[in-house]
Amino acid sequence: MQKLIEKLSGKEATIGIIGLGYVGLPLILHFAESGLKAIGFDIDQNKVDHINKGESYFHHIPITTLKTAIYNGMSATTDFAKIADVDAIILCLPTPLNQYGEPDLSYIIKTMDAIAPYLRAGQILSLESTTYPGTTEEKLLPYIQKSNLTAGENFALVYSPEREDPGNKDYTVRSIPKIVSGYTPACLEAGLALYANIIDTVVPASDLRVAEMAKLLENIHRSVNIGLVNEMKIIADKMGINIFDVIEAAASKPFGFVPYYPGPGIGGHCIPVDPFYLTWKAKEFGVHTRFIELAGEINNHMPKWVIEKLMVALNSHEKSIKGSKILLLGLAYKKNVDDMRESPCLVLLQSMLDLGADVNYSDPYIPTVPKLRKYQLNKQSVEITPDELEKYDAVVIGTDHDAFDYALIANHAKLIIDTRGVFRSRNEDHIIAA
């Protein structure tokens, strides 16, 4: 173990990142930038080809960054046999829910099946995926043991949850403090040495399950508070109160209050999914997670709330949603990114289509809708112009991208359903807060 730690600390180690998505790709770029040899692994040949050509497939990752990393020796492959050539293996894999709302660890299990024959002494294995407490020890440790390796002696096992926030320019992989935990103290020491190469502040956790639970707490904290403010939005709307004015006033308090903002629901790879990993695990201990489930109910109801506001607004214009032409602004789950994972805007789009509306969308970050697991939408983004806006009976703001010309939209749209408070300071009959 000491030799591995020295290798990691001395920047002599080769780093292998499995899963080159929103978490894995920024991570491997930082390792490459820090001077370590880095190899990316993915089952998607298209992603691998893009990386090896120096082509970025994420809007927020510049091509120049990728090309520099490739020039410095970074590479990508679909050949998992090359796991034998790396010293550190970092798993950045999806952990979705299945159709029954239960944890789906199939990506982790299939990956471990693929790499198990190539595990060797002197390696460190780190899981970054969000999951329920106990996963690292229950699911990963047996693979190490079956390979005749001993975690803490000749192999290191750690859990270090990702904290990637695509599109956030204030925080980077390096500047966001990172939790690291280990199966044994020696494993933890190796994990700290690994991540110290690219992270300014590494935070040791006392136990694998502590780190796993901490990641869930971070996301549940957001889910519950977003659920609260979404419910407050509905109450405020019924009372004729501007919820954004309420939040601004409350946020003047310098202690004991953190502002959260309402929207058409919640999206992304974490908040809609991760809390239910704990809900599922808690049942094993006879615990009913009422706060988590209630927040989920409220947040999942928000697209329906928006549709109801749209229908009432169209009725006031003597129109039915069936047959109306609707323009949805934004498909991403949050502003200024191309990330559609679990986006409530997809729910809005599908719901409007199901109700018989003629729907188009505009999103500068998503020119076409790719094939998705839940949705089969054959649509392309339309350009926002005065003539284009005037074709529609209503415009629904689903994502408040900075790139949208909101003055143009306000001046030319017949009816606006504003789910993000973009026009909260404008009191005009054709703008409806939702």
Render 278-341 in DSSP notation, one character per residue.
Answer: HHHHHHTTT---HHHHHHHHHHHHHHHHHHHHHHHHHHHTT--STT-EEEEE--SSSTT----T
270 is catalytic: yes
Rounded Cα distance between 178 and 171, Å, is 12
Alpha-carbon separation of residue 53 from 49, 57, 67, 69, 72 (angstroms): 6, 11, 8, 11, 13
Rounded Cα distance between 310 and 416, Å, is 9
Alpha-carbon separation of residue 130 from 48, 201, 262, 413 (angstroms): 24, 20, 24, 42
Short-list 232, 264, 239, CA closest to 350: 264
Structure tokens that stand for 170 in this block? 């204030």
Q: Are the beta carbons of 163 and 175 closer than 8 angstroms?
A: no
Structure tokens that stand for 98 in this block? 């299945």
The strand ranges marked E within 11-54 are: 14-18, 37-41
Short-list 74, 62, 61, CA closest to 33: 74
Assign 246 to helix, strand or coil.
helix
Rounded Cα distance between 154 and 120, Å, is 9
Short-list 349, 360, 355, CA closest to 264: 349
- Which amino acids are annotated catalytic? 270
